[in-house]
A and B are shown apart, each in its own frame.
Chain A
Amino acid sequence: MKSCAKCLIPETAEATTFDDTGTCSVCNQISFKEEKVDWADRARQLDELVAQFKDKGLYDCIVPFSGGKDSTYQLWYIVTQLKMKPLVVRFDHGFYRPTLEENNKRTFKKLGVDVVQFTPSWHVVRELMLESLKRRGDFCWHCHTGIYAHTMQMALRYETPLLFWGESLAEYQSFYTYEEMEEVDEKRFNRAMNLGMTADDMYEYLGGRVSKRDLYPFAYPPRKELRKLGCRSVCLGNYIKWDTKKQVEIIKQDLDWQGDRVEGIPPQFDYEKIECHMQGIRDYLKYIKRGFGRTNHLANIEIRNGRMSREEGEKLEKQYDGKRPPSLDIFLEYLHMTEEEFLECAMSHQVDPHRFQPNQVEDGERMPDMDQWDRTDVPWPDRPSIKIGG
């Protein structure tokens, strides 16, 4: 497989292109961010935005919030720096971890914010996880659609037109560039979040297994309603220069935010993806499909910031990416699936030119809090087969 001349991103990464020098589009975006973006001007634009929406309704803005490093910093910045009153909206994907919940309790208390949380039905969620896994080799559809679609619905319900999301997609991927300043709208949702499958499509795929109203939390609200509200849904990372490491220091210091171990992630990145106990499965699937995992991604960020050499990155990647996460046992219980079925499904989604070698997989490390991850047995007698249409 080809990879970037500067970082380790391989050609199988979604949306990435390579220029004549073999440098990937993400590296070029980061150079643009460092050298060409007028951050003082972006800060002025942010001030204008804040002035336009502050003190107009029940809340000044909505902050979608998982409790991971990015949304915690977003919330900290909006409350302490922009002095806005946010409504914190959480979409519970079903896999929050104990450390995260404790962090959140502290963060909400310290910042003094109102919080609403929505948890979709597990019976519906697992249908969606299975169908999405079958069709795309990716079980996260319910989370990635719910986080956006349901939060936009909350903007309508609470008549709060301004939403602040976290980093720009240009920070890590090439769906957009730093020149574009993407609006977090339905186009971005269709392009980069929902795997090309809408709630209406899911309804068709599932052929009566779930009802239309079961699917409403995952359906993006109508454009006309959002326009009537005067909705602006923006990335904070397009207005302030995103710097994960610095931001993590701030939230650790100010909010006593605690990091965590995560499957497939080197311990020095204790801030990464602590919000989901199925993260190891997501990254393992990515490895099976595209030949790289989360350590590759983390090393790339370090390499782009001059904090790590390519060789160090490669070594770390080898050590952590592509290991079988122990949480796979829990995942297979959730979806009432065998490991053979899981692999068959995942391998049918390999992205050219990558080819996964299942017989060379080693076991990954077990996380200390794994015993506390929920394993409630919920029977699923009529579970569909893993074949699409079955």
Chain B
Amino acid sequence: MLDIPLILFFEGLTNGAIYALMALGLVVLYSVTGVINVAIGEFVMISALTVASLRDGSVPGTIYLLIAGLVLWAVYGAIADLRARRAAKALWSLAWPLLAGAVAYLLVLAISRTAMPYLAHIAVAILLTTALGPVAHRVIVQPLPRASALVYLILTIGLHLALTGLGLAFWGPQPYTLPPFSQGRLRLGPVLMDHQDIWLLAVSLLLLVLLWWFFSRTLHGKALRAAAVNKLGARLSGISVVRAGRTAFTLQVFLASVAGVLITPITKMAYDFGFLIGLKGFVGAIIGGLSNPLVAVIGAVFVGLAEQFSAFYISSAYKDVLVFLLIIPVLLVRSLQHVDFEEHVE
């Protein structure tokens, strides 16, 4: 079979595209805030299982997670205002997250009780999961504005453990699947590809292009980049670093939740499968030095390809070992190139 390398190539590309979304999210968040989000994979899981819940006609646990986060948000906000002796504003800070939570709950309740097309469920799930982004930022990152990368790392490890546990509580240990966006297969030269693979590649590519446009052409994107390059400088020119961090976190969670609904029809999903996806994206992000989005994306695709080819030509038993071993030469080369690698550690 001459087409084996080609088949491996396309499979590697599909996986690599997902890792690329992860890597990009990690790079964006790290450059803006110095946070390495270990829990990125959990958002992949949450969005996918939220769709499964909605299709089931049940209320997804995601909404309780969102409400819990919003309650914390309200409490944090109110305390901050009271400390600054702004009683009237404290009331508002307390009220609006609670109101938002209540509205979101009623909406989700209504949605889960009405029959909706699959794509609408997907949109709702992505929206709901993405909403966890700013909440996570407010609850976990913002209270410690100038912590070191290590502190953030420990915090997000905690978030990862908490979300995995909650995922188990909400959805149980069994795996779920979602139907492909469209049925059928397409012949690309000698290779047969499922429609879902094409969807995955196309949507990922579209997102990458959109992000490029966002960062290079819009004011928001430029503000984010400014905050990444120099926090003080950005603040002096009127950019809110907190808001930039929140946007970056939201963007990352959005990318993860899109990845979740794209990949689940192909791979299935259970409460504990997110982590490995996030980890492989992290290898890609490391190749990009956690700062260069383009190299990170290329690195992530390379991880996907390396995975497939090493599993076929070397040994499937050592597939993951080989992929993670990739980090060592990369780190070696990078440590020789960049002396200022630890610029975020203050």
Decide whether A and B assemble into one complex.
Answer: no
